[in-house]
Amino acid sequence: MEREFIQRRSASLHQRDLTKPARDGQRVFVAVPLPGPLKEEIGAWSDELRILYPFRKWTDAADLHITLQFIGDTLPERVSELRSVLASAAQSGAIRPFVLTLSGTGTFGIPERPKVFWAGIGGDREGLHQARNIVAEAVSALGFKAEERAYSPHLTIARNYRGTEPFRMPRLQLRPGASDAGNSKGTEGRPADCSSASMSWTVDEVVLYRTHMHRLPMYETVARFPFG
C-alpha cells in the first residue's frame, strides 16, 4: 500500500513539473543555429528595414535561429535529462548534415498588419523536417508534449506591425558572397520575391537554448549537439 502511494505521488509530481511553469525553471527550446557571418548580414539588412517598417519588436541578430521544438519552463534536473536524450539522438546517426538556404520573405497574420515578418527557409527541407521529427520524438520520450501545429520553419525577423499604412513585403536582400559561411548559394525552393543574394549553409548540429526575457540577446546556448 505504501509503495503504491509513493509511486502515485512520484507520478503526480512528474506530471506537475511538465504541465505547470517551473518557479525555478529555465525556459528552453531546441533549434538549428546559423553561422555568425550570416547572422551579421541578416542583422545589417534588418537594421535598414527598421527605418521603414515600424514593428514593435525586431529580432536581435545574435538570436536568429530556426526552432525545431519549443519545450518551455523546465526544472534544472529535467534540463539535464533533455541534454542526455538530445545528445543520444544527435549521435545516433539518424540525423545527417544537410544544407539549408535562406530564401524569400513572408508573414503570419493579416498581410496588411502582420504579427510576424519572417525570412524563408529552402534547400534540404526534408533533412530539416527529419531532424525536427527526431528531436520531437526524443523530448516526447521524457513526457514533454510535442507541438500539434504543422511545422513551418522560418527565421523570425520582426513581430507586430504598427504602421499606419498597410505593410508591403520587402525583398530579402543580402550581399552575395559577403558571408564566409563556406557554402554555395542555393536556389531550390526560392520564392518569387527573393533576390539573388540567397545564402546557404551546412547544418551539422542542433542547439538547446535558454530564454532570458527582457534581455538582449535573449537566448543563451545551454548545449550543442553535433551530429554523429
Which member of 14, 65, 129, 214 is catalytic?
A: 65
Size of the chain in residues: 228
Contact criterion met (CB below 8 Å) for 205 and 221: no
Half-sphere exposure of 166 toward its Cβ, with a 13 Å CA cutoff?
A: 5
Contact criterion met (CB below 8 Å) for 187 and 200: no
Q: What share of the chain is helix, strand, coil (3-state, %, to 5)?
A: 30, 35, 35
The residues facing 228 across adjacent strands are: none
Which member of 14, 129, 154, 214 is catalytic?
A: 154
What grid cell was written down for 117?
515578418
How many other C-beta atoms are found inside a 10 Å radius of the C-beta of residue 81?
A: 16
212 is catalytic: no
Q: Report DSSP letters for 108-171, one per residue.
A: EEETTEEEEEEEEEEE-HHHHHHHHHHHHHHHHTTTPPPP-SPP--EEEEEEEE--SSPP-PPP
Of the candidates 211, 107, 212, which has an alpha carbon nearest to the alpha carbon of residue 160? Answer: 107
Cα radius of gyration rounded to whole Å, the chain:
19
Q: Which residues are catalytic?
A: 65, 154
